[in-house]
Every structure is written in C-alpha cells, then in structure tokens.
A and B are shown apart, each in its own frame.
Chain A
C-alpha cells in the first residue's frame, strides 16, 4: 500500500536572468537550504536526494548530480537524477514522493534547477538531427502553430493571450522570488511588444531564468512530528503520463496524455468537479495561450471554453473563482528544469498558507501541473490540507 506522504518544507532561490553571484552548486544549495530551514531540518536528517533538470546541454555539464552530490549533502546517501524534458521539475518531485509513498525512505530532499545563463537554451534546443524535423528556433517555434490551431478550433479572440500575460505578470509583483517584476505591465504593453513566433508576442512568452527549487517530502510519522509550525501539505493524488511526439491523428492541442494524467490524479483525490473542488492551481504556462488550452485539458471546463474562463477573469487571483498561477507562473519565472517543481512547490505553499501576498484565502486543495517535450510528458499532483 502507498504510504501517506506530505510536503513539509519548501525553498526557492531569487530567480534572475543571471545569477552570477553563485555557482551551480551555490544555486541549488540556496534553494535546498531554505527548504531544510522551512522543515526545521538539517542536512543529516535527509535519507535520499532526488534531483532534476532539463537537458545537460543547458549548462554543459554531463549528469551534474555527480558534481552536486556534496553540495546537496548527498554523500553516502542514495541520489537519483530525473530528466523528463520540461515536465522534469514535476516528475522529480513525484519520483521523490514515490520514495516516501513506497516506504523506502522517510525524509527525501528533492531539488530542481536550471542556470540558463551558462548557455543558450534556445539554441541548445535547436540542434539539427539527421532525419528529424527541425524544432526551429527554440520552443516557441514549435508551439506557435499548435496555439494557432487552438485559436482556430476554439474561435478564441486574439486578446486572450494578452490577458494571461498581463494577469500573470501582475501576480508576479506579489511574489518576491519571481524573476520578472514589471511594475507598469499593461494590456497595451503586451499588445505592442514584438511578435516573436506569430501569434506569440515577446511579452506572451516566458523569460530565461537562473534558479532552483527544493522541497522536503516526508512520511506521515515524520510529518506528524514536524516542529516547523507550518502545516504539511498532503499528497492526495499524483500521476505521470507520456505519449509520442508525433504520429498521424495525435491531438497536440489537447493531448490525451494530459487528459488521462488529470483523470488519474482526480480519481486518486476523489475529485469529480475540478473547477469547484480545487481552490488554486499552478499550471505550466510558458506561452500565454497555454492557460486556456490547459483549462480544457485539465477538465476545468468543456473543450473550447477555456478562453471564456480567462476572458471572464475566472483565473485571476484578484476576484477569480479558480485562481491560476498566483505566483506569476512560468511566464514570470523560468529556470526550465525547476519551472515544473515551482508549480508543485507553489501548490504546496498555498495549502500550507505560506504564499504571502499571493496567498489565496482558505485553500483546502491545490493542483500542481507540469508538461514537457512536444506537449507529451505530463506530471501532476493534488495536495490537501487534510490527510487523504
């Protein structure tokens, strides 16, 4: 039987475009140290370390966990390195959670990072491969046609993407850790920003960030004894799903792997009406249009209606009934390997009531979601304030 598992500590770095004040080891240690302090633990209390990041080419270090073992207090302990493309931050948290849920360990430290300023992620993603379709210039070139297909299919008007971009940047102003703090962000500013990959404008895309995220996951016995003063966030459901990048008939706009991953998590958590039963969600939205697309994929509304929720302000921290990405989301902070873990971590912070200015009132349940590859890798968890 799966053992009850909880988040009892969270930590993240101050995310910036260049964290030249720290090495890679210094970056991950900054996040991990905060997570340990939050959990009122020391390095010696940790049984195992699970680390994740996106492709090693982003920093030019092969399997960097080998070099990072001492910085993360892993010497003499089990250490696992996860890599599942953009979803990796979420997947890494889930691998760590399974180490507790399976009864293997009691206290697991999980960390994810990217130091994008060490290389150029866009071109690291764009290395031509023999006999493979080129990815064009970075992820935006890949996802723009899929977004266009969504707009055509749903009849969504052009301003929806702009609305998401403004909303998430406004919410980032309430998050001291967020990379982008654009004080005068406005509809006009986003609308008038340069078109990068039609229909994705410059301010409708995520930044390149240096940053790390960390969590301490614990067994029920440890969580019950925790002296941190902040309540645990209990895992009510967790799942991963993958599907191939392309084949005839694959729906890249509303991928089946995402739908099935959500269905699995909701089944575990006993959720039948996500919009009503989930109080806040942190969802991987690297391009503004992915908010309405994932609203549909995650079952918060019927297919084709996602943009209407965004348009009505339903996803805003200020006044919405299903606030999404109160932290500012990936649109405001994107250390790629950590971006998924930040979603999972922010979901935990909301349940634990530690989100400060971007806290949603009375959160009983939250959703964290990450996706990666060509919209083909999905990782999700639902957290709750009560034991499952």
Chain B
C-alpha cells in the first residue's frame, strides 16, 4: 500500500501555472488555452520540454465532443523529438499521481503534468450525467446538481449542518477569491446576503453551486537534488493516496467521505485510528479541497479532521473556479504555492471525481522533504 514515508524518493512541486479561469473561452481552442500555461510553467524554473523525463496529462473527450481531444494537446507541449508521455481520462491530479509514482524509479528526475478543459463547450450537466450507470441510472437523467442536492439534503437531515453553513462556505470562498487573479467568481457578499439566492435544486441555492469554467493548468515535479536546484522552496510531496467508492449512490453514506479519510491516513495527514472515532487531522497550515458544491467542503473537512486553525481554500476553491479535469490539479498547485511562497510550512490538497465525491485523492505537501505533514 502507498505509504506516507518508508523509503520513498523525495519528489517536489517546483513550478505551477494556470490560465485565467473563465466562463467561456470564446476564441481559443484547447491548445491555445493550454500553450501559454505550458510556456509559463517552464519559464518559472528555466526549463524546457526536452528536459522533462515524463509528461502526463488529464482531460475528458466529452467536454468538447470529440474523441482523442488530448491528442492535439501534444501540440501545446511541442512533442518533438518524441517524448515519454501518458494520459489519464481523469482530473490532472491523478496524472500527477502517476508521474509521482514513476519518479520513484530513479531513471527520471523531472515530470510535466497538465490538464485542460472547456466545460462551456457542452451542456455540462448532461455530459456528467453520462458518467452514471448506463443501464439503471443514466436513463433517468439525474444531473450532477440534483445528485449533489440529494447529498446536501442528507447532510442537513443528519443534523450536522444547515443551509446557512453552506452559505458561509460560499461567502468565505468568494471573499478569498478576491486575492486570486485567476478566479472566476469573487465578491464581498456576506452569508446572510447569499441566503437570499434562489434555489437551483433545493436545498442548494445558486451560491452553493460551482461555476462552469474553462481553463488549463500545469505543474512541474522534480525529484531529490534536482528539486532543490530548481526552486528555492520546493513543495515536497510527503504522501499521496487515492481511493474510489462504489458507484451505487444508495449503497453509500453520502454525508461522509470514508475514502477521503483513508487517503488522508495513507498520505499521513490524518491520524490512523480504528475508524470508529471522528478523524483527527495532523494539523497542516493550508488545505485546498476540491469541493465543487459548498456542502462538500464541510464533508471533506470532517473526513480530514481539519481544525479551525487550518486555512481552507485560500484560493477560493472550486466554488470560485471549477474547471472540469482541471480543478483538482489546481488544488495541488495552490497548496504547493503556499509552501513555495513561504506562507505555509505544510499543506494538503484534495481532488475528487464522480458524483457526490465518489473518488478522492489526498496529497500532503511540506517545506521539508522528510516532513510527514505534521507541525
């Protein structure tokens, strides 16, 4: 099993770039959105594509309605001479996981990871509905907002949170996003003001939903001494793990995220217990959580045992910009940036996939390679 330590080769995030996250890229195709981001992520550390040991990306064909949409992305990287390269039909955070594992093998020292997606090209709700069981669920066309609303209702019914708590998450996200030049949804509204929003699907009001976002992001990973050469304060990955739950919504307790907890334990940011008590976080400075819907942040906080001292989603999170296939990798980039810019000593990033937090990844980051995420 993946372990937080135990002889792993130290690997760090040394560079992070992202496009502005926008409602609609009217005039640029995927390659044109991605290419400046690739240039930026290389320029920040003075590297070129030819120095990359491995390249791995994440995207989804269905967003632009074309098979092999990732193929043209090779043009944004300039894949000549040929490169060692792979692609996941997943959020870029999972591409980063693949690159991180390959960097353990010592034959390469660097990797480029990127992801891109223009959610505005399709009817996103219908596209994501096609993720569901094609025989028994998808034909009913429950869209992602309806499914998230079921989850939110279950959470309210559990007595742990109220609609006002969802509004408070949204208000904080929008306020924090004011400091993020790439964010899409930002503002100074209070939670009380947001509670005046109409319901989209009860109990979810407009502010509890993510925006539809077009954008791209890229990260460079480097191992060992190479990371220290490239970056003054590399964000060392001290642990990473991901887990998937059953697809059957009726078989899950939607008010909890047991796979986030287990991934957090394996990544070393949640105390390993017998699973009976509430999870206890080890106390990171910053947590970037991929919670597309406001109530999901509350579920994730509980699953990771995040205390009040942890700064959650200082970037504004997925409520401020939710590029499909992009937002998870951005969480890792944002968390790493807090370490690289010196504002944090330790951080965790989370990425999710599937309806109602079905699949979850947790990445632990620290200013020291030997650190295990604890302060």
A242 touches B79 (CB 8 A): yes
Q: Judging by beta carbons under 8 Å apart, are A1 and B84 in contact?
A: no
Residue of B with least CB distance to A246? B75
0/1 interface trace, chain B 29-43, chain A, CB 8 Å (1 if under): 100000000000000
Q: Which residues of B sit under 8 angstroms from A23, Cβ to Cβ?
A: 135
CB distance from B102 to the nearest CB of A (A): 5
> A80-109 interface mask toward B, CB cutoff 8 Å, 1 = contact, 0 = none?
111111000001001100110111110000
Give the distance in Å from the alpha carbon of A127 to the alpha carbon of B62 in the complex: 12
Distance between B7 CB and nearest chain A CB, rounded to angstroms:
7
Q: Is A218 an interface residue (CB 8 A)?
A: no
The reply on B246 being an interface residue by CB < 8 A is yes
Return chain B residues, CB-CB under 8 Å to A132: 72
- The segment out of A68-76, A164-172, A191-199 that lies at the interface is A68-76
Q: Interface stretch among B86-94, B158-166, B193-201?
A: B86-94
Choose, from A52-60, A288-296, A314-322, A344-352, the stretch at the interface: A52-60
| A67 and B131 contacting across the interface, CB-CB below 8 Å | yes
| Shortest Cβ distance from residue B274 to the other chain A in the assembled complex, whole angstroms | 16
Question: In the assembled complex, which residues on chain A have CB atoms less than 8 Å from the CB atom of B78?
Answer: 244
Partner pick for A244 among B65, B74, B97, B258, CB 8 A cutoff: B74
Asked if A212 is an interface residue, CB under 8 A from chain B, the answer is: no
Interface mask (A16-52 → B, CB under 8 Å = 1, otherwise 0)? 0000000110000000000000000000000100000
With A and B bound together, what is the CA distance between A111 and B106 in angstroms?
Answer: 27
Are the C-beta atoms of B134 and A24 separated by less than 8 Å? Answer: yes
Residue of chain B at shortest CB distance from A61? B134
Q: How far is the CB of B81 from chain A (nearest CB, A)?
A: 7
Q: Does B60 contact A (CB under 8 A)?
A: yes
Q: Does A257 contact B (CB under 8 A)?
A: yes
Q: Which of B16-24, B301-309, B338-346, B353-361 contacts A (4 or more CB under 8 A)?
A: B353-361
Q: Quote the shortest CB–CB distance from A237 to chain B (angstroms).
A: 11
The residue from A64, A66, A80 contacting B94, defined by CB atoms under 8 A apart: A80
User: Which one, A60, A95, A105, A261, contacts B86 given CB within 8 A?
Assistant: A95
Q: Are B86 and A84 in contact (CB under 8 A)?
A: yes
Within 8 A of B (CB), among A154-189: none
A94 to B8, CA, bound (A): 20
Q: Out of A62, A99, A242, name the residue touching B60 (CB < 8 Å).
A: A62
Q: Is B82 an interface residue (CB 8 A)?
A: yes
A62-B62, A74-B244, A78-B244 are known contacts. Are A104 and B71 too (CB-CB below 8 A)? no
Expressed in whole angstroms, the Cα–Cα distance for A70 and B247 within the complex equals 7
Q: Is there contact, CB below 8 Å, between B243 and A131?
A: no
- Which B64-123 residues sit within 8 Å CB-CB of chain A? 65-68, 70-72, 74-75, 78-90, 94, 97-98, 101-102, 104-107
Residue of B nearest to A378 (CB): B82
Is the interface on chain A under 10, 10 to 19, 20 to 34, or 35 or more residues?
Answer: 35 or more
Question: Which residues of chain B have C-beta atoms less than 8 A from A243's C-beta?
Answer: 74, 79-83
Q: In the complex, what residues of B have CB within 8 A of residue A105's CB?
A: 1-2
Q: Tell me which residues across on chain A come within 8 A of B130, comparing CB atoms.
A: 56, 60-62
Residues of B within 8 A of A220 (CB): none
Query: Are the C-beta atoms of B66 and A127 separated by less than 8 Å?
Result: yes
Set of chain B residues within 8 Å of A376, measured between Cβ atoms: 71, 74
- B175 at interface (Cβ–Cβ under 8 A)? no
From known contacts A82-B88, A244-B74, infer whether A62 and B244 are also in contact, taking CB-CB under 8 Å: no
The chain A residue with its CB closest to the CB of B133 is A67
Enumerate chain A residues within 8 angstroms of B98, measured Cβ to Cβ: 80, 95, 98
**Which residues 114-170 of B sit at the A interface, judged by CB distance below 8 A?**
127-128, 130-135, 138
- The reply to whether the CB of B205 lies closer than 8 angstroms to some CB of chain A is no
CB neighbors of B among A135-156 (8 A): none
Residue contact A47 to B65, C-beta cutoff 8 Å: no
Contact assessment for B246 and A59 in the assembled complex, using a CB-CB cutoff below 8 Å? no
Interface centre among A64, A66, A105 (most CB of B within 10 A): A66
Q: Does B61 contact A (CB under 8 A)?
A: yes
Which residues in A have their C-beta under 8 angstroms from that of B102? 98, 102
B359, A127: Cβ atoms under 8 Å?
A: no
In contact, A124 and B134 (Cβ under 8 angstroms): no
- Chain A positions within 8 Å of B241 at CB level: 78
CB pair B243 A77 closer than 8 Å:
yes
Given contacts A2-B106, A61-B130, A260-B82, whether A77 and B244 have CB atoms under 8 Å apart is: yes
- Which listed residue, B55, B62, B132, B353, touches A67 by the CB 8 Å rule? B132
CA distance A82 to B90 in the complex (A): 8
Q: A56-B62, A67-B133, A104-B2 are in contact. List 5 more A-B contacts (CB 8 A).
A: A98-B98, A98-B102, A103-B104, A244-B80, A373-B71
Residue contacts A-B, CB under 8 angstroms, 9 given:
A56-B89, A60-B134, A65-B244, A66-B359, A67-B134, A80-B94, A83-B61, A104-B104, A261-B82
| Minimum-distance CB pairs A-B, first 7 | A55-B67, A257-B82, A102-B104, A242-B85, A83-B89, A2-B105, A62-B130
